[in-house]
Chains A and B, each alone.
Chain A
Amino acid sequence: MGLFAYLKDKFRKKDNSSDKETKLYDDGLKKQRNELSSKMNDLAKKAKKVNSSYFEQLEEILIEADVGVNLTLSLIEETIECAKKKKIDEPKLINELLIDALLKRYYDDSFDNHDITFRDDRCTVVLICGVNGVGKTTSIAKLGYRYQKQGKKVCFIAADTFRAAAVEQLEEFANRLNVPIVKGDNEEDPSSVIYRGLDYAISHGIDLALIDTSGRLHNKDYLMRELGKINRVIQKRIGTSADESFLVLDASTGQNGLEQAKSFLNTLPLTGLIVTKMDGTSKGGIILAINQEFHLPVRFIGLGEKMEDLTIFNLDKFLYSLLKEVE
């Protein structure tokens, strides 16, 4: 049994009793699923036989999902070889081979999608970074909401002192959630805000300190150096880097996502990705490419605008929701 068949089997059985989270994945990924599966199904239906143009069209589907050229080419090659070996030439089965090849990449790299592990000895520190406009502040609010509901004492540290009204934005979330916030003045060195914030968190028995940073383009050296300094200040205050350092990635990001991951990894010991805006039409293929190249797992995924729409990334659910309508 191929991986795809296994996945379908696993979920189809309990599809009726779908839990809340599965529904979140289902709803959030509806658009992508429709497009992806209808494209693949159409292709299989229309094709009389499998030839090089068939594979070209499969290639197109992957590239349009932002999987990236290199990975796409290698997936297609693998599928062609496998089809030859197994003497398969029925379009539907070829599609299945491709999906299996794709799944194998996901599973080979064993996405390590565990929850945040809380420390007993002091507050758990989570640092959020990323390029401009990916949804860092909103993600922090959603994380705060999530763990507050689990009974944790949460605080926000608003260290984006650069963007106009970024602090106010987080403050508004803090008020809504009734979460304490330590904020910087305009243009204050973010490191000093963070130092104060950690002081506050530690002395007030906070369980989870969420640090918001300015959006920074990964190719601006001075901004990456600033982030390095932030990391050093955290180390100074708590003895280690942040317990979790997440890079926030917009699902609509193209191949530039690879450069982003590379540059942030050079600066910080990243522990994972938060992929936002997956409820759009972008298929987020870049996360596969990033995982292949840097072994950086997706930890959280944003599937909608509501507070509860940021959830732990579950690979099985993600793939099943994305692919279940492929025949």
Chain B
Amino acid sequence: MGLQKISEKFQEIFKKIRGQSRLSESNMDAMLKEIRIALLEADVNYKVVKHFLDEVKEKAVGQDVLKKLNPSQMLVSIVQDELTSLLGGEDAPISLNKNKPTIFLMVGLQGSGKTTTSAKLAKFYKSKEKKKVLLGALDVYRPAAIEQLVTLGKQVSVDVFTEGKIDPVELAKHAKKKAYDEHYDVLILDTAGRLQIDDLLMNELKNIKKEIEPDYILLVVDAMSGQEASNVAISFNDALSLSGAIMSKFDSDARGGAALSIKYLTNLSIKFIGVGEKMDDLEQFHPDRMASRILGMGDILTLVEKAKEEIDEKEAKKMTRKMLEGEFNLNDMMQQMKQFNRLGSMSILRLIPGMPKISDEQKELAKREMKNFEVIISSMTEEERLNPEIIKNSRKLRIAKGSGKNVQDINRLLNKFNKTKDMMKQMKSLSKGGKFPPGFGGMNTPFH
């Protein structure tokens, strides 16, 4: 997952600063410097980094952090708050028209992933919202772009409007007419990739906009793009007054700096992220959840939603309640692992607090580790599973023998368990103390 590396970096910096008994001006500066490098390495726009650090500094000075009882902890929480507000605190959901088709116009640079994203979006509305969806092929320039959309349309069982390579403005009008005549709920228009400095093609988009008045114009941005992504977003926004952005290729290991920057520089919110090659791999974007993912706090809400889709709901509810209440033991951990195995997708692990180190490419390793843990846990007594604190040296030796592992393996398991438990405690106290990022207030809603 894209954010993993920046998340690790932040955790590292936080750990360092928490470890210091005293916070002085000089080690605060050192920390801010490290944060600066972490953000720049993640391709966060230079101006945004500057603004971010200025804000953090100002708040730290304003609150007289250095004189407070627990200065490092306070500084960490200031950074967390600022990061959340940088990503744009609230969700900005897309609402569909009730009595007429909702029209989406997808725009962006060449190769950003418009066609694939259009098809994924079509699938999203068709499968998740049960809408009647029409795709429109307006890319008359790239060879076989139309064929690509037609093929993808077939894959997701969505109708595709094509009329060959005529003027895209005419195509758009005809697609709109078809959508109205045949009572489609959603029309998604895929356009050709273009440079924001290509006046001719930008005018074409302006004309399409004028003629068909789309409800949403979405910019597709490659998550791996660098500093220029912000300028691209600004230019497209100036020309077309965009309604939002979709970040594609978020399943790369890019650190998502563009996502952080675009919101601040254009005030455009990110609506969706593309997280894989399959047609289902489009997720709605929740800025607050993303902030906690970046900060290594995991993303419980998305986890629960995923789990609900794939595990039976009762178990999911129980699991989540336990996680939130912090009464979490090794049985629960094993239960969890089994469920994840059943999900067949370890990618879900990135959403769990305390496990940010496990990522897609380590899938197999993690699977093996799980197997190991399972073997170890099976060699424990029920008492040990419920109260892992009691597992000291002699018990460790026994368990190691029983499971055919060595003591280090047992320690590794216990460490992981403690880390997960700590994280959960932290989440619990955060949600109680009202310190949680906005949006987490609704945390309990899925499990009333």
In the complex, whether B387 has a CB less than 8 A from a CB of chain A is no
Cross-chain contact of B226 among A168, A172, A218, A254 (Cβ < 8 A): A254
Cross-chain contact of A280 among B197, B257, B361 (Cβ < 8 A): B197
- Which A residues are CB-close (under 8 A) to B149? 164
Q: In the complex, A254 Cα to B145 Cα: how many Å?
A: 26
A160-195 to B contact mask, C-beta < 8 Å, 1/0: 001111101101110000000000000000000000
Q: Contacts A64-B46, A254-B257, A256-B252 hold; do A281 and B142 have CB atoms under 8 A apart?
A: no
For chain B, residues 205 to 227, give those with C-beta under 8 angstroms from any C-beta of chain A: 222, 224-227
Q: In the complex, A220 Cα to B232 Cα: how many Å?
A: 28
Minimum CB distance partner of B141 in chain A: A305
Chain B proximity of A97: nearest CB distance (Å): 21
B42-81 to A contact mask, C-beta < 8 Å, 1/0: 1100100000000000000000000000000000000000
In the complex, whether A82 has a CB less than 8 A from a CB of chain B is no
A63-96 to B contact mask, C-beta < 8 Å, 1/0: 1111011000000000000000000000000000
Cross-chain contact of A63 among B46, B142, B195, B254 (Cβ < 8 A): B46
Contact A165 B147 (CB under 8 A): yes
Cross-chain contact of A255 among B226, B229, B231, B363 (Cβ < 8 A): B226
Contact B195 A217 (CB under 8 A): no
A119-148 to B contact mask, C-beta < 8 Å, 1/0: 000000000000111110000000000000
Chain A proximity of B139: nearest CB distance (Å): 11
Contact A254 B227 (CB under 8 A): yes
How big is chain A's contact interface, by range?
35 or more
Cross-chain contact of B151 among A63, A165, A286 (Cβ < 8 A): A165
Contact A63 B40 (CB under 8 A): yes
Chain B proximity of A23: nearest CB distance (Å): 19
Cross-chain contact of B251 among A63, A169, A217, A252 (Cβ < 8 A): A217
Q: In the complex, A221 Cα to B232 Cα: how many Å?
A: 31
Contact A252 B109 (CB under 8 A): yes
In the complex, whether B402 has a CB less than 8 A from a CB of chain A is no
Contact B37 A69 (CB under 8 A): yes
Contact A163 B252 (CB under 8 A): no
In the complex, whether A314 has a CB less than 8 A from a CB of chain B is no
Contact A286 B249 (CB under 8 A): no
Cross-chain contact of B110 among A135, A221, A282 (Cβ < 8 A): A135
Q: In the complex, A172 Cα to B41 Cα: how many Å?
A: 39
Contact B360 A219 (CB under 8 A): yes
- Which A residues are CB-close (under 8 A) to B110? 133, 135, 277
B101-124 to A contact mask, C-beta < 8 Å, 1/0: 000000001111100000000000
- Which A residues are CB-close (under 8 A) to B225? 250, 252-254, 282
Q: In the complex, A221 Cα to B253 Cα: how many Å?
A: 12
- Which B residues are CB-close (under 8 A) to A166? 144, 148
Contact B197 A250 (CB under 8 A): no
Contact A172 B252 (CB under 8 A): no
Contact B111 A134 (CB under 8 A): yes
- Which B residues are CB-close (under 8 A) to A256? 43, 224, 226, 252-255
Chain B proximity of A177: nearest CB distance (Å): 12
In the complex, whether B143 has a CB less than 8 A from a CB of chain A is yes
Contact B113 A168 (CB under 8 A): no
Q: Contacts A277-B110, A280-B109 hold; do A252 and B155 have CB atoms under 8 A apart?
A: no
Q: In the complex, A69 Cα to B33 Cα: how many Å?
A: 12
Chain A proximity of B167: nearest CB distance (Å): 19
Chain B proximity of A307: nearest CB distance (Å): 12
In the complex, whether B196 has a CB less than 8 A from a CB of chain A is yes
- Which B residues are CB-close (under 8 A) to A259? 253-254
- Which B residues are CB-close (under 8 A) to A295? none
Q: In the complex, A162 Cα to B232 Cα: how many Å?
A: 29
For chain A, residues 200 to 251, give those with C-beta under 8 angstroms from any C-beta of chain B: 217-221, 250
Contact A252 B226 (CB under 8 A): yes
Q: In the complex, A218 Cα to B249 Cα: how many Å?
A: 11
Contact B41 A255 (CB under 8 A): yes
In the complex, whether B228 has a CB less than 8 A from a CB of chain A is yes
- Which B residues are CB-close (under 8 A) to A9? none
- Which A residues are CB-close (under 8 A) to B358? none
**Which of the listed residues B109, B110, B148, B359 has the most CB atoms from chain A within 10 Å of its own CB?**
B110
In the complex, whether B304 has a CB less than 8 A from a CB of chain A is no
- Which B residues are CB-close (under 8 A) to A220? 251, 360-361
Q: In the complex, A257 Cα to B227 Cα: how many Å?
A: 12
In the complex, whether B152 has a CB less than 8 A from a CB of chain A is yes
Contact B113 A132 (CB under 8 A): yes
In the complex, whether B273 has a CB less than 8 A from a CB of chain A is no
Minimum CB distance partner of B226 in chain A: A254
Chain A proximity of B122: nearest CB distance (Å): 13
In the complex, whether A309 has a CB less than 8 A from a CB of chain B is no
Q: In the complex, A65 Cα to B43 Cα: how many Å?
A: 11
A244-287 to B contact mask, C-beta < 8 Å, 1/0: 00000010111111011000000000000000010111110110
- Which B residues are CB-close (under 8 A) to A172? 143-144
13 contacts between A and B (CB under 8 A): A64-B46, A68-B41, A133-B222, A133-B249, A163-B148, A172-B143, A217-B251, A218-B252, A219-B253, A219-B359, A257-B224, A277-B109, A281-B232
The 4 closest A-B pairs by CB, nearest first: A254-B226, A133-B111, A254-B43, A165-B148
Interface residues of A (CB under 8 A from B): 31, 60, 63-66, 68-69, 131-135, 162-166, 168-169, 171-173, 217-221, 250, 252-257, 259-260, 277, 279-283, 285-286
